[in-house]
Amino acid sequence: MEKGVINNLNSEYFKLKINSKIYPIDVVSSVCYTMNEEAYFFLEGNPEKEIEVNIKTKNNKLTNKEIVLKFQENLITYLEYKNNFKNNKKIKEMIIQRAIITNNPGIVTTDKDFEEIENDLDNLFSEDELEEIADIATPWEEKNQ
């Protein structure tokens, strides 16, 4: 752990400083919410610069250090979840759009509507991304024969 990031780790209350350029406030608040059975969390600071998380343990099951380590682990997990959600949002929208059109073709009223949807699907991935997807979809046995 970085020196100066955690204040008073051995006391009943301690403070964890988080760089909000790396971990946005919504990620920090999600982690606080999921860990609210282990500790009380009080957020302070400027969400544009640095978030201060004041922590008070609820029980003696976890030490302060264990709570901080678990908190930091959850920060990474929730940040990755947020990034994946953002990256896959367009794909999910296109899949849902395709499913709606497949099950109810009457929604597409003109050839132009259909062409726009097809163009959106075609332009969703670059050539490199399509090759990467094809490589991922190849079974392990075929790759390693």
CATH of the domain at 61: 3.30.70
Q: What's the pLDDT at 136? A: 65
Instruction: Output the pLDDT for position 121.
Output: 63
Task: Classify residue 49: in a domain, yes or no.
Answer: yes
Question: Residue 17 pairs with which residues in a beta bridge?
Answer: 52
> Could you list the mean pLDDT of each consecutive 10-residue stretch along the chain, which spans 145 residues?
51 85 92 92 90 87 86 93 83 76 65 66 68 66 69
Residue 17 lies in a domain: yes
Residue 29 lies in a domain: yes
Q: What residue type is assigned to position 81 of the chain? A: Y
DSSP code, position 111: H
In a domain, 116, yes or no: no
The confidence score (pLDDT) of residue 62 equals 82
In terms of residue numbers, what domain contains 68?
6-87
How many domains are there within the chain? 1
pTM for the full model?
Answer: 0.60
The pLDDT value recorded for residue 3 is 37
